[in-house]
Structure 1
């Protein structure tokens, strides 16, 4: 009889450990840059895969310079999405650099790239050739606008995706300008869907023995995240309006000003609304025909919010959270990042891990947000310095010292008496 599985107690901090590595043994070649692709490969690395990040010798991933802030020689933007990887510098436009990548692909499981369609690199690493040459390879291509349509060849950054795919039209106050989301939702949305696609393809490969070409884009991912906004538009044909922190289908469900700051109330049904009204000393609001049901409250959003705002501004955030929370009314203070990372809940979850960086010493990282049998994947190594592992990785690929020198310093005189 097998040993019973010991489950962690609900209030125990999930330990960080190397055992949470479901993708251990997988090899990933990362030819991507900026955020969407690197976030996919960092996630695969967090899950145990061995990831080699290939960067151009002249500066590497552009996000290394996207600062301030900097921490050591690299911007914190780069440090956020590249841990648990090894860095190799190669000129991918050179035949020698391309041959080196093909050596990596010979036993790789996954390739991630975000080459612009039609570019010289997209032609050099054409997916049809790669799929034929490496039939077990799962190739993820992330683009700005997808594989077809009039915009397929256009480049794009997160801001472009948020604008062109509608997110900015939904973000901001009703009487204010469109705003981008605080997070890079275009890039991160594509990264998360790309991660799902890669793992699904790896599962399918277990059945078929063949890899495949997986694609997603910033634009497609944003459309997929519209969810209720899109279905509402399909049903009514009406252009949605910006609602600030409000919800198109629920009221009250937004941020409110208290005497000393802001907090949110999230009322999802009529029972909760009655509890809210009683706690605020106005049980009569629940019987007002304008507010009796959620449908009524949505129709009379402005009138109800005016009543709520007049009451809530008299007391502080802590007062309202302490009053409403025990009644089951969903409520929370709006925290800044310094408060989030000082919060006991953040600490209890073990979501911040520390790793040593060769230049800056202890480096804190936000860990992978999924546990496996109570164990969180570990931050095993710091985001690599540019080319930190070039010689190590190239030696593993079979290059001798002279061959490595020629790859890393192509301007040096060549000695063709040596091997690869």
Structure 2
């Protein structure tokens, strides 16, 4: 309510002869203030992460009206926030802020760690991602936790040790490194593979490692039949023994002869498909005859009987013998000088060595132990019979107790 005044002037004529008299009055009038008051129009102040309280919402805001703000969901106030209508404008009364609601420090998980996945701090809306250490794998469905109003979402992820399951193998492959009693194969554990039969060769990696995710770093290898390839046609040489399907496995023999009767065979007249798909000797050639040979060739694990010379005539022979425990094949073997080339294939077959340390790894011992020996040398084709030690029993699907030595190799039974 405020007051205003008005002037009222009256002209009064006293008489015709007299002058006019001016009479003025001042009148004070009450005026309603609402008809002249200022109003704040337009949008309300924009406060980040805050909204106007319900009790402050009006259709029209007049002079000196106050608007209060409250923080949005997930945010907490840092001081009160209010504005006042002054001369058609909003003026700050209290300039607080709405900050994201903080979460407690996240829990650590055993055998793992976390990193901030979204956001910059442990506050509302931020997310963290858990990762397992090397050698461990996540068994929880969720690896991300988000800071909510009530705290961190989801359960604490769990990291368990990585383990691998062995792949099935056929009876040809020997696997070493498997834990006893079907124990757990953990991350980083290595298995080794071999083909004990010389007629087989390993196809694939000989070592396989348990890697991340419980997966092997490579597929298990297999033992495939050893095969040798026939050489291309050799000039002046006839090859005997090539099968129709051209597949020559371990132990297959090829023989050679000269197609020209006046030529002589230089090299071995017979070769054998041996380990790794290689022929035992280079293929021979046929050439015109020569009268002399040089010194006789060296024999692995053997030597010539008697002395040797630097020169031998065509047709002369040299006899060989093997070292102790090695068997000459063929027996009483010799090489003959034929047109400048020493002919005939000779081999010293290897013995098998079985000692106490090796048997302990298989939980076996000799059934008929040798006298005063902890080590036994078995010659090629010899048999040895074993038995389990203590209360151990022969492992299922294992080899028999009685085994034969074949050119340095013998399968050993395993007891558990």
The reply to whether TM is greater than 0.5 is no
Normalised to the residue count of structure 1, the TM-score between the two structures is 0.21
Structure with more of its chain in helix, by fraction: 1
Normalised to the residue count of structure 2, the TM-score between the two structures is 0.21
